[in-house]
């Protein structure tokens, strides 16, 4: 009996490195903020941010996503100049100190991305769905990949209130697919190759918990758009509300969501917990049949006298 057909993860290629079903990418998070929703990732202090990046690389991160502004409406007001001050010198240090690490800038502002491009970034993570329409063009100009997101039309730093996509629970999935397909088309027309265009369903943003869970179940439909899929689910509210847990206790729920999305063909996973996410992704890739076990000696004939444990 043949195993069930599984959606093939679309490859992502950044700076000559390829990520696919056999090797999904872990995108670590370094927030240069004092007010991120997860207290374990507040690195306003430069030395703390440097330690966090080094630890992420040691734990197996493929990409490091650097942000300078909290996503939600709570917290500090941060203008473009302050955002540049927070992220660009750090990115410059990161590029010089860890030249092989792929760097991503998490911003919705084209002027911030342009400054980051001058020191070398590989990906522009546009979390707010082209709120600044020039951002995708800047990504193309600096030779970076680009993340297309879905926020239900909300402007930056807006928390969802009274969200509705229609009476059918699948209406949110349809809206996500339409928005991501159009955003990816714009990115390609702007000059970004398809294998450098990531599509992100952007769970929690502009969505209720029920919306996010529905979209997660339909990850394979997002994969079917033909672009590598980014899932950013780590410790988010849809996990917290599902289990009634605060951010500090959402690791297991985040990993469960990660396993499901990986099984359904996502390629990149934005995560606070790098090592645990790396191990989950490797295990899922092996169960799917896309990756060989690193060791396979159980039940195999061994030379006489050798103890297999």
Give CA–CA dist 262/282, Å, rounded: 10
Decide: 152 and 207 in contact? Cβ < 8 Å. yes
Is 270 an annotated catalytic residue? yes
User: What is the spatial distance between Cα 241 and Cα 38, in angstroms, rounded to a whole number?
Assistant: 15
Q: Looking at 10, 32, 109, 236, which residue is catalytic?
A: 236
Coil vs helix vs strand at 77: coil
Q: In this structure, what token pair is assigned to residue 131? A: 């709120």
Judged by phi (left if over 0) then psi (alpha if -120 to 50, else beta), residue 129 lies in left
Catalytic residue among 235, 250, 270, 278: 270
DSSP 3-state assignment of 26? Answer: strand
Reply yes or no on whether 207 is catalytic.
Answer: no
Q: How far apart are CA 215 and CA 194, in angstroms?
A: 22
Q: Which two tokens stand for residue 108?
A: 């919705």
| Residue 195 burial by Cβ neighbours in a 10 Å radius (0-12, 13-18, 19+) | middle
Given a contact cutoff of 8 angstroms between Cβ atoms, the answer to whether 247 and 238 are in contact is no
Residue with tokens 């300078």, as numbered in its chain:
68
Dihedral (CA of 18, 176, 249, 47) sign = positive
Token representation of residue 17: 């490195």
- Those residues whose C-beta lies under 8 Å from the C-beta of residue 59, and which sit 6 or more positions away, are 28, 274, 275, 278
Active site residues: 236, 270
């Amino acid at each position: 009996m043949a195993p069930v057909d599984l959606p093939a993860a679309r490859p992502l290629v950044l700076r000559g490195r390829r990520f696919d079903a056999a090797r999904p990418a872990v995108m670590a998070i370094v927030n240069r903020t004092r007010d991120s929703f997860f207290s374990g990732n507040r690195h306003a202090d430069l030395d703390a941010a440097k330690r966090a990046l080094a630890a992420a690389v040691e734990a197996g991160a493929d990409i490091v996503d650097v942000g300078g502004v909290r996503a939600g409406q709570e917290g500090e007001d941060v203008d473009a100049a302050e955002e540049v001050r927070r992220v660009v010198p750090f990115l410059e240090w990161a590029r010089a100190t860890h030249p092989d690490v792929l760097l991503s800038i998490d911003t919705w502002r084209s002027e911030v991305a342009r400054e980051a491009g001058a020191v070398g970034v590989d990906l522009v993570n546009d979390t707010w769905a082209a709120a600044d329409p020039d951002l995708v063009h800047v990504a193309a100009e600096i030779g970076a990949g680009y993340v297309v997101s879905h926020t239900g039309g909300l402007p930056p730093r807006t928390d969802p209130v009274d969200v509705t996509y229609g009476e059918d629970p699948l209406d949110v999935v349809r809206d996500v697919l339409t928005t991501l397909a159009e955003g990816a088309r714009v990115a390609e027309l702007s000059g970004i190759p398809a294998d450098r265009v990531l599509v992100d369903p952007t769970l929690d943003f502009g969505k209720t918990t029920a919306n996010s869970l529905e979209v997660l179940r339909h990850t394979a439909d997002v994969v079917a758009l033909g672009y590598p899929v980014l899932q950013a689910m780590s410790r988010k509210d849809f996990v917290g509300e599902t289990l009634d847990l605060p951010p500090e206790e959402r690791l297991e729920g985040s990993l469960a969501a990660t396993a499901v999305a990986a099984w359904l063909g996502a390629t990149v996973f934005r995560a606070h917990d790098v090592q645990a996410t790396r191990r989950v992704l490797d295990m899922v890739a092996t169960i799917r049949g896309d990756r060989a076990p690193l060791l396979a000696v159980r039940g195999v004939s061994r030379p006489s006298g050798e103890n297999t444990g």
